[in-house]
Amino acid sequence: MSQTSKQATYLTKHLFGAGIECPQKLFYYARQYPQNQGAVPFIRHAVFNKRLLKALVRSVFPQGVFVKEDSVSAANSQTNKLLEEGNRTIFDAVFAYEKMMARLPIVQRKDNELILFHLQTKVFDSQHYSLTNQEGKIRGKWQDYLLDFAYQAYLVQQWWPDMQLRTILVLPEKQGLAKENYLPGKLWHSDDNNNTADILPANQELVAKQDVTALIDRVWHDASFADEVLPRPTFKETLYFLRDQYLGGEKSSFDIGMKCKDCEFRIDQSRINEKTKSGFDECWVAKAGLESPSEQHVFDLIGSGTKQWIAKGHYKQQQIPPHEVMSVKDITGENGRISHAMRQSLQIHKAKGNSVPGEIIRPQLIEEVNGWQYPLHFLDFEAGNYAVPIRSGRSPYDLLLFQFSCHTLYKDGSWKHHQWIDNLQSEYANYELIRQLMEVPGINAGTIIQYSNFERHALKAIRRELMHESTTITDAENLIQWIEGIIHRNDSLHHDPPYIADLSRQVKQFYYNCEMGSSLSIKDVLQSVMSYSSFLKEQYSQPYSSSNFDQFIWWQDDDTGNIRNPYSLLSEAGDWPIRRGAEAMVVFGKLISRELAPPEEQSMREALLKYCELDTLAMLMIYQHWKHQIN
């Protein structure tokens, strides 16, 4: 029997939630099985936002006392001792009971009542949203949050059975507006010491405080809710069942199915090949008798159909019957759009060892690309959305554009790179981005190329802001006029230039190569194109120098001779590797916090600049390959 980790001492809120999803996960958590890292940037972003929300809500409790004991046992003792002393407000309160523990950001005692606050980062519209439906049942999208809170409140109740509990769920308020600029930086520094004297109380409209006492009681006692949601007949039985699953030494009885697709213990095949333990594989070997379950699983197919194949017991791509996929002949014989069904069929043919075309370039792509007018501006923005906005008059998660990169390609094949990143000293990053973008040479001529329609949407959002603040921003009219000249351009599927073209649409609709998988993100498309393109190998085996790279080699192969993903090379080009947009958002959040030493701040800025430059270089590379093939 494998031994439980020394850390498997207490069941926590997170583990309770994981156990509700699948009790078998607790076996893997207790033994510290490796997890998929794909969600890590989003988790870090949520943690950043939660810290801001905590500091904001705490700012109205200036007399709050922090529980600072390190161990769970000591923190539990300090929490309960403080509550015994009478009316007060406690921050980071800890309650441990029978090998289960909970940490609450705010607990307030008022005579015979304990008010518990639980924070989540999902936005809420108090005017239009409801936690329950017309039948009074908890809506599915709020269910997990209330289960988390019910777990915490249950442990508090065990310590204070004679006290009346009131539970307040705190969420970012969609309709709320910040009352001052650079509020996140102020809140970040106040979080550990509650030094919130300069935080305006009016900023509380940024949070919705929902009394969920009745709903928590329903989670505890409603038999129909338990029957639909919980693995045991009652909440209490579920609680102790999951605790025992975590602390015990045996795997539970479990089922496999669609719920496994996003399991955190489903790791990349490359890690499995390196003999890393896979909880996902252990489950599917035990239940489905599969050899190497993660390899070419139907979960890795693009598009729909996975659910029906799982229901039929077709777990591997090789098991899908031939009559359920399109033939290669039918796919290559068409000239229209490449559908998800076509891509899926090509994946399945490849998994079965059937011959697939090396590359498909539809005529529509050739026509569009040949219609682009030089210079070509490959443009990418980096943006963040934070629970506490950085500018007065903005709502939670309003878009903050903090960076752009632009590779400009000229007709003779030469190119130049232009970039900008906010230094947090400007009046407002969104407006400064436009001012700096207007200075890119030739930006008003030729064709602007984006990957997805994000840049166009972002420009529209900034235009709305400027129109709202046109009386206070001195150059608003000029900025608005320039933006309108860009956003009113056609995509190149039309025949009237100038264009703002969408490279991702062209990839999705008109391009395929045999190295492609289920993802059409620019990161994965770039690797597939570089793997296939001898032209790019020749070009980018040579040193590349630019604003952020000096004699850098982008075409590098691994020990097996396969091309390494250029985005993975970024981890070797600096102390703060950024490989996706969510990571960039997290890193800029660290800059917003204004707590970094100058060398660390500089390192982060350099990482952001390198990542954003690679995004536009990736578009340039894909275009260069297409143009070479077309010619």
pTM, entire model: 0.93
Residue 198 confidence (pLDDT): 82
* Closest to 419 (Cα-Cα) out of 435, 437, 432: 437
Residues of the chain with pLDDT under 70: 1-8, 191-197, 573-576
DSSP single-letter state for residue 299: G
Gap between the Cα atoms of 9 and 4, Å rounded: 9
CA angle 182, 185, 187 (to 5 degrees): 110
Please provide residue 393's backbone torsions phi and psi, each rounded to the nearest 5 degrees: 80, 5
Residue 1 confidence (pLDDT): 38
Gap between the Cα atoms of 95 and 75, Å rounded: 8
Residue 291 confidence (pLDDT): 87
Cβ neighbour number for residue 579 with a 10 Å cutoff:
18
Contact 440, 416 (CB under 8 A): no
DSSP single-letter state for residue 277: -
* Residue 9 to residues 141, 285, 373, Cα–Cα distance (Å): 30, 29, 64
Residue 363 confidence (pLDDT): 96
298: Cβ contacts below 8 Å, ≥ 6 apart = 306, 309, 310, 314, 315, 316, 317, 320
DSSP single-letter state for residue 289: -
Gap between the Cα atoms of 82 and 192, Å rounded: 18
**Token pair of 588 as six digits:** 């800029």
pLDDT tens-place string over residues 113-124: 999 999 999 999
Which residue shows structure tokens 């210079």? 375
Residue 6 confidence (pLDDT): 46
Residue 236 confidence (pLDDT): 97
Query: Is residue 33 classed as helix, strand or coil in its secondary structure?
Result: coil
Gap between the Cα atoms of 47 and 11, Å rounded: 20
Helix (H) or strand (E) holding 106: strand 100-110
Gap between the Cα atoms of 561 and 327, Å rounded: 31
Residue 625 confidence (pLDDT): 98
* Closest to 26 (Cα-Cα) out of 219, 229, 249: 249
Contact 508, 520 (CB under 8 A): yes
Q: Where are the beta strands (DSSP E) in 467-626?
A: 500-502, 511-513
Gap between the Cα atoms of 389 and 400, Å rounded: 8
Please provide residue 555's backbone torsions phi and psi, each rounded to the nearest 5 degrees: -90, 100
* Closest to 260 (Cα-Cα) out of 227, 220, 289, 300: 300
